[in-house]
Structure 1
Amino acid sequence: MQPNNFQGSYPINEKYSKRVAYFSMEYAIHQPLKIYSGGLGFLSGSHMRSAFELQQNMVGIGILWKYGYYDQGRNEDNSLQVQWIEKDYSFLEDINLKFTIKIHDSDVWVKVFYLNPEIFDTAPMFFMTTDIPENDYLSQTITHRLYDSNEATKIAQYILLGIGGATLLDKIGFNPDIYHLNEAHGLPMAFYLLNKYKSVDALREKFVFTTHTPEEAGNEKHDIHLCAEMSYFNGLPIDEVKRITGIQDDSFNLSLVALRLAKKANGVSRLHGEVARNMWGKYGNICPIISITNAQNWKYWGDKQLYSHKENQNILAFDDRKKYIKLRTFEIVGDQTGKIFDPHVLTIVWARRFAGYKRADFLLKNMERFEKLISNTQYPIQIIWAGKPYPKDEGSIQVFNKLVALSKKYPNVAVLTGYELTLSRRLKQAADIWLNNPRVPREASGTSGMTAAMNGAINFSTNDGWIPEFIKHNYNGFVIPQADYNHLSIEAQDDSDYNHLYEILENTILPMYYDRQDEWRNTIFHSMDDVRYAFDSNRMADEYYTELYN
């Protein structure tokens, strides 16, 4: 492959002519390419689609995961089963590019595959694999599982993304003006560039960083000696690493080092930007942290017929379309669970990655109150849960299985498996209420509600992540009032959020849906209008060029 020939018929808009390489561990681009786990991948996938739409001079760098994240199946009792199924992609091009990188001071062969922009309407993308005959079995396993639970394997994956990705760019002659790390996984890239440019200042001019984790404890740390042993620092001695990064002890904090070596960084919502500046402000020598709120690609996610009927004020057609797309999803519910859901009944969907702070089972905190809600004949409801716990997170898997067991008791409760791009789209189309109840301020952004709004669902959420920038209570959504989270115990926070959630659901949402349909529909219209441009990833991709790259 000759330098820059990979762009083919991909014209560059002069406004976005600066060359940018975007590094991410995962990309949710389209259902056939299963190399993602959750929100980080959904975000990076939409970014690549908007880079295509805006004709930006950008390439995406990622890893070709042989088994993806995992396939979510069921055991005989319908509880969650983690499945590792090999993936094969005929639409990826073998560009005859192989090279070696050092991992654990040994040569590991890397093979590169190319995703042409015309396949899924994305920026040009390159995916690396070590699962080739030139490597021993241990080296082949580096690219087997996204977010492998073994620490050494995980570090090897980060070396591949960072050093492998930077090497790849040199091999194809792209020569980026900006290297953009979407999260700190690819941080070894910085040490490759240090070796290339021989200067921290020269590195800093080319390096920007997006942080997604609003809690310091959640930012990844590894033993600096293990990192050195694994060749993470590209041959740089530990003493020199500590001098350059300012790390004093043996705990190597990936995000902190990225913030010290980057020219500029961003949080992924206004609130997260504030949280990140407060969280990292006590450390010295960090770069400026701005806010660029996450967004999702409207062209890919939005239901165009709903928008057309709304804009033409064809109320009957709008209502029919929403019922139709609900019914289409209910066929999946019936197929998986044997339950027949009614498109006329208010449908609440909770669907995202299972993690403790997201409180998947929050509605069940008081079972007596839940029983009253779920058996209400005046204002009936249906509830769907879906999402993938991390395959080694036993606590979240237990919550998932608890919900499966609960669902067997009720004809109007379902738990679905296979939460990937296609099911995500269908569930957003099925939802009347998209429920989001994380503990504040644990959600840096949270983008699933954006695509739900693009499909005629109304967001009902705690006031976290992107929500303070979007929801106007009772106008385009419903928001749980924020308690004094700084001084309340976690139990008191949960009690406050829970009581407000049920009060709004019982006293506002259900009566509006059933008794004041015009008001309900207007709320949907406001939501669809307000999400359309402000939270379309074209706005976000433009801001990255104007605010972070330039």
Structure 2
Amino acid sequence: MDHNKNALAVLAAAVLLPGLSMPAPAQIRRVQGPFKKTPISAAAGSATALCAGIQPISLKVSLSNGSLKISGVSAPNLDVPAKQSLAIQAPADMGMRGGPAMAQASADERGVSPVPELSLSAKALSLPAAVGDQGSLIENLVKYEPQLLALRGNQLGLEKAVEGMKALFDTARPEKSLDDNNGPESGAGEPQWLPISLARAAPRAERRPEAMPGVLAEEKLRAVIGAMRSSAKPVVTDLSLEAFLPELEGASQLALGVGGLGFLTGETWGAYGRLDSVHGIGVMPLYDQYVDVEGRASRIAWENEPGIRPVMVRGEDGREIPLQFEVEFKGGRENRVSVFWVDRGGTPVFLLHSPGMFQRLYPGGNEQLRQYAFFARAYVEFMKKLDIAPEIIRLNEPQLVFVANAVKNDVDFHGRRGKRSLFSDTRFAGTTHTPERAALPFWDVEWLKGEVGPELVRDEMIVYRQGGRVADAAIGMARMADIVNGVSEEHAKVTASILLPEFQEKIVGIQNGSDPERWYSDGVRNRVKRARSLDEISGDELFRIGRQQTLSFNEYLQDSFGVSFSNPDRPLVGGVRRLVQYKEQGMLIAMVEWIVGDREHEYETPLGRKKGLGANLLIGGLARDEVGAQWRREFLALMRRPDLKGRFLFIDGSGDELLRQATSASDIWFSIPDPTREASGTSDQRAAFNGKHNIASATGGPLAYLLHGVTGWLIDVFQDRPFIDTARRFDIKDPAAIAEYRAKGSMALTEYLEEALGRYYAYAERGEGSWADEMRLAFLISHFKVSIGTMIQKYGLLFQSILDGTGPAGFLKKLKRG
């Protein structure tokens, strides 16, 4: 008997029967025989059971083009329409071939045993290993034959049959290693999980009572959501508190994003279309105001902003009205929510607008906490209106633990009434984007209940600490998520060893990436479009394009900020990032005069007196803590000095266009945060996509792709110390460790800037050296290692590992297979 085929037949029957609850997607073990017949007893179902008097359920199963298709469902007494079909997609590494087969599952009221028995015999499968360099499909010929499963019992839930199937495979033990038959590497005698991704059920004929009245009025959005509802692919909702959306401009864009998470989220949402395995939906708050660097607030008239539109609903009478709904918060208080949407590269991003709650991004204090909690409630009610059940909710940062709480509350509420919630089968993926404790909040339990309502403070986030009860956001997210990922390998290591050591088995790393198309200069974009492959683009071309971009950037600075460099032909050293203590831009204050100084004069440096580098220097970003605010004041004062005017610029701003222009124009980009404090960082990637050299701390993302001394330089002050000791010292903000990094890091930065500018001048002035070749390497390696396409495919594997139940271990195995 074929285990995969029979189990999928049972699963399909359960999915296609309305009102029947399903367990998590099946995990079928790949096993090799022979085995002796193994009887399995499954306990009778109770709450969701097939009751007496049911006609046999028959369904046709066929395999074609990597998909398993189930059709021809017939169950007269259950009012299941005939000819419904369900496509079950095989995993990317599991090709299937074969003709049609028949499988039947029947339930018969004549059974007399209250504990039904399911007897199955195992059968060998032939599953050769993957072939090809690009992870092509396994050539897998599955032999099978029609089987009849007799499922007898007064009350037999098909979910119990699934448990019986799993129990059968768990008790099976092969007589020889899987490796004997060209299977993937595995321990001798150990069955290996074979993920079979169960697709979502066929769309319901009925609408949920909470669904929006009418239909989506906008044809484009209606088509996108309609495709999701009718598709067999699972839906992932990706949630964030901020995002830079390139479809927006100016104040409207800056109102929704402030830092690295915002840039990354916008790019990630736009990349979901590259995944064949899932549909993606982005959801975030829509903030009512933009607050400038001086603290002045201005309201955004979102209904008039280009690139964003209100979601409109057309009722039976043909009238179109905005999608709005009331959200109960803190035990009775209701707030109205309006829904807007943005087409982010083919992914629908929904923005929830409630001016009374979402006044501004990151307001701080209790107001910010209430935003976290209200967004959780608003998300749950919005998904009910949209009438799409997400298989996975991705939580970007632990603050979104309140979403998991609200979702679980909805499941419990319906369960107590014998009903199924929209989220009954939903699972969670948690992503932490920083090791900084400020982003890992915890609160006194009773105080928190008073702020957000007791229902949003679930036991899953409560811990006992120092004699009291504390609600910890990171622990709550880790408890409820199937997998927690850091955004680089180093960040995952810090998270597992220091921040969440009790959940280290759940923690994996996925290196952040960026979208090259979004960050190219105009010149690089045009050259890439003409190229047959990236490999044909030379370093000389990248250098010439970069020099032209420096001139264009100078015009952009004058037009946008009213400042510019006096001589834009000089090489440009740049860095635009949030100004916060751990990012250490203050290290540059003592070096400004030397960096921009004349090459024939000497200046003081951390390594003694040295001749000036003759470069222009750009520093930009928004101050987000007291230390950053002090640096901002010092940078502004330096920019006003007559001897530095036109050579050093400080830009008090952020946003997509500033960062794109700056990264593509700078000859040398710097990012120098404290060791282990930068989870990943991505601005360096954007410079590298344009072939630029980087000087970076040996931490986070640069470790994944930067070649020290070739495509850039890594400042590694603590390379002779145990990693975990360094991480712990910076986690507690040890003043001695910070002072040591600043002192030795400044010396390393001085050395590397001098070396970098020396190579630059050798090539630019004399055509000597390897500068252009290094630019080409930076360009190619960054595309391969840290592009958004590479990153999103890894998230696809993570989602698959959640759905197939293999979890972190399964993800790591899939990642290793490539």
Name the TM-score, length of structure 2 as normaliser. Answer: 0.59
Give me the CA root mean square deviation.
Answer: 2.8
After superposition, where does 1:360-439 map in structure 2 within 5 Å? 360-364=585-589, 367=590, 370-377=592-599, 379-390=613-624, 393-409=625-641, 410=644, 411-439=646-674
What is residue 93 of structure 1 aligned with on the other side? 310
- Name the CA distance, whole Å, in 2 between partners of 1:154 and 1:441: 27
Q: CA deviation at 1:217?
A: 5.8
Question: How many matched pairs?
Answer: 516
Q: Is this contact kept in 1: 2:236–2:393, CA < 8 A?
A: yes
Q: Is this contact kept in 2: 1:292–1:543, CA < 8 A?
A: yes
What is residue 683 of structure 2 aligned with on the other side? 448
What is residue 349 of structure 1 aligned with on the other side? 574
- Name the CA distance, whole Å, in 1 between partners of 2:447 and 2:326: 21
Q: CA deviation at 1:480?
A: 1.3
What is residue 297 of structure 2 aligned with on the other side? 84
What is residue 111 of structure 1 aligned with on the other side? 337
* Residues 454 and 495 (structure 1), Cα distance of their counterparts in 2 relative to 1, 3 Å cut: same
Q: Is this contact kept in 2: 1:443–1:464, CA < 8 A?
A: yes
After superposition, where does 1:126-525 map in structure 2 within 5 Å? 126-131=350-355, 140=356, 142-149=357-364, 151-198=365-412, 206-216=427-437, 218-233=439-454, 235=455, 241-242=458-459, 245-248=462-465, 249-283=468-502, 288-302=506-520, 303-307=524-528, 311-313=535-537, 317-335=541-559, 336=561, 338-364=563-589, 367=590, 370-377=592-599, 379-390=613-624, 393-409=625-641, 410=644, 411-483=646-718, 484=721, 486=726, 489-506=737-754, 508-517=755-764, 519-525=770-776
Q: CA deviation at 1:243?
A: 6.6
Q: Is this contact kept in 1: 2:398–2:439, CA < 8 A?
A: no
Q: Is this contact kept in 2: 1:358–1:437, CA < 8 A?
A: yes
Q: CA deviation at 1:112?
A: 3.0
Read off the aligned partner of 2:619 and give its amino acid letter.
W
Partner deviation per Cα, 1:112-139 (whole Å, 9 max, x = no partner): 323243xx424111111112xxxxxxxx
Q: CA deviation at 1:478?
A: 1.5
Read off the aligned partner of 2:472 and give its amino acid letter.
N
Partner deviation per Cα, 1:354-412 (whole Å, 9 max, x = no partner): 10010112122xx3x6533331325411100110122xx33322211110101112031
What is residue 134 of structure 1 aligned with on the other side? none
Q: Is this contact kept in 2: 1:102–1:231, CA < 8 A?
A: no
Read off the aligned partner of 1:84 and give its amino acid letter.
A
Q: Is this contact kept in 2: 1:39–1:447, CA < 8 A?
A: yes
Partner deviation per Cα, 1:404-452 (whole Å, 9 max, x = no partner): 1011120310011331111111111221111111010110011111112
* Residues 244 and 281 (structure 1), Cα distance of their counterparts in 2 relative to 1, 3 Å cut: closer
* Residues 124 and 370 (structure 1), Cα distance of their counterparts in 2 relative to 1, 3 Å cut: closer
Q: CA deviation at 1:266?
A: 0.2
Q: Is this contact kept in 1: 2:584–2:672, CA < 8 A?
A: yes
* Residues 243 and 446 (structure 1), Cα distance of their counterparts in 2 relative to 1, 3 Å cut: closer
- Name the CA distance, whole Å, in 2 between partners of 1:99 and 1:115: 15
* Residues 213 and 232 (structure 1), Cα distance of their counterparts in 2 relative to 1, 3 Å cut: farther
* Residues 101 and 313 (structure 1), Cα distance of their counterparts in 2 relative to 1, 3 Å cut: closer
- 351-360 or 446-455, which deviates more: 446-455
- 185-194 or 492-501, which deviates more: 185-194
- Name the CA distance, whole Å, in 2 between partners of 1:504 and 1:449: 16
- 323-332 or 92-101, which deviates more: 92-101
Q: Is this contact kept in 1: 2:463–2:471, CA < 8 A?
A: no
* Residues 466 and 244 (structure 1), Cα distance of their counterparts in 2 relative to 1, 3 Å cut: closer
- Name the CA distance, whole Å, in 2 between partners of 1:114 and 1:122: 16
Q: Is this contact kept in 2: 1:480–1:497, CA < 8 A?
A: yes
Percent of aligned pairs with the same amino acid: 20
What is residue 17 of structure 1 aligned with on the other side? 233
* Residues 371 and 250 (structure 1), Cα distance of their counterparts in 2 relative to 1, 3 Å cut: same
Q: Is this contact kept in 1: 2:539–2:773, CA < 8 A?
A: no
What is residue 49 of structure 1 aligned with on the other side? 270
Residue 65 in 1 paired to residue 287 in 2? yes
Read off the aligned partner of 1:99 and give its amino acid letter.
F
Give the secondary-structure state (helix, strand or coil) at the position aligned to 2:675. coil
Q: CA deviation at 1:470?
A: 1.1
Partner deviation per Cα, 1:286-327 (whole Å, 9 max, x = no partner): 760111111112222234135457754466654432122111
What is residue 608 of structure 2 aligned with on the other side? none
Read off the aligned partner of 1:144 and give its amino acid letter.
Q
Q: Is this contact kept in 2: 1:208–1:262, CA < 8 A?
A: yes
What is residue 77 of structure 1 aligned with on the other side? none
- 14-23 or 512-521, which deviates more: 14-23
Q: CA deviation at 1:475?
A: 2.0
Question: Larger helix proportion, structure 1 or 2?
Answer: 1
What is residue 121 of structure 1 aligned with on the other side? 345
Read off the aligned partner of 2:627 and give its amino acid letter.
G
Give the secondary-structure state (helix, strand or coil) at the position aligned to 2:706. coil
* Structure of higher CA gyration radius: 2
Q: CA deviation at 1:97?
A: 2.3
* Residues 18 and 408 (structure 1), Cα distance of their counterparts in 2 relative to 1, 3 Å cut: same
Read off the aligned partner of 2:271 and give its amino acid letter.
S
Q: Is this contact kept in 2: 1:23–1:161, CA < 8 A?
A: no
Give the secondary-structure state (helix, strand or coil) at the position aligned to 1:276. helix
- Name the CA distance, whole Å, in 1 between partners of 2:597 and 2:215: 64
Structure 1: 5+ residue stretches without partners: 73-80, 132-139
Give the secondary-structure state (helix, strand or coil) at the position aligned to 1:208. strand
- 491-500 or 294-303, which deviates more: 294-303
